[in-house]
Amino acid sequence: MLSKKIEEALNAQINAEMWSAYLYLSMASYCHANGKPGMGKWFEVQFKEEQDHAMIFFKYVISRGGNVSLKAIEPVPTEWNSTLNVFESTLAHEQKVTSLINDLCALATQENDYATQSMLKWFIDEQVEEEETAQNIIDNLKMINDNGYGLYMLDKELGARTYTQAAPLAGGE
């Protein structure tokens, strides 16, 4: 049985993950419209991953006998100054999500909710990866510094990314 406080916080996180999905779909659209189809595809995979994150929370709330209440998804930005700016915004957003996950963890500790703490462990590890990936792409873009061939190669590399269902949904850890 979930406490009301935890149930509300988990529902807010479902909304935050759906907003993230929406944000990355918008970034995918920006990249496609600005001649970066590989990066566009990379963000489409990111969009699917965020939907997975929302579904992990969704299924968890149900499994603990809680109620899911879906709120409206607020509008997301649609314009960025450059490809570098898109990935800098990605990193800033992931840092924000990390702090949301940390807050959830602190609340679960305060409420002595060990099951929720255990479920959140996957997200704590995932956020380390999310921030590192965005930082690596930013570093690459800065190194390339608008070199056409470099951008072409990076776009191609990012376009090779494929979607894999998140482990907690696929039956793994």
Contact residues for ligand FEO, defined by CB under 6 A: 17, 20, 50, 53, 94, 97, 130
| CB-based contact 155:38 (threshold 8 Å) | yes
CA torsion angle 102 15 26 95 (round to 10) = -10
Q: Where are the alpha helices (DSSP H) in 34-159?
A: 37-63, 83-110, 114-144, 148-159
CB of 72 to ligand FEO, least distance (A): 19
Picking from 128, 30, 126, the residue whose alpha carbon sits closest to that of residue 84 is 30
Instruction: Give me the residue whose beta carbon is nearest to ligand FEO.
Output: 53
CB of 35 to ligand FEO, least distance (A): 25
CA torsion angle 18 155 158 87 (round to 10) = -40
CB of 123 to ligand FEO, least distance (A): 7
Which residue, 7 or 52, has its beta carbon nearer to ligand FEO?
52
Which residue, 17 or 88, has its beta carbon nearer to ligand FEO?
17
CB of 97 to ligand FEO, least distance (A): 4
Which residue, 88 or 94, has its beta carbon nearer to ligand FEO?
94
Query: Kindly report the CA angle at 86 between 13 and 27, in degrees rounded to 5?
Result: 65
- Which tokens hold the place of 61? 């709330």
Which residue, 50 or 151, has its beta carbon nearer to ligand FEO?
50
| CB-based contact 26:63 (threshold 8 Å) | no
CB of 16 to ligand FEO, least distance (A): 8
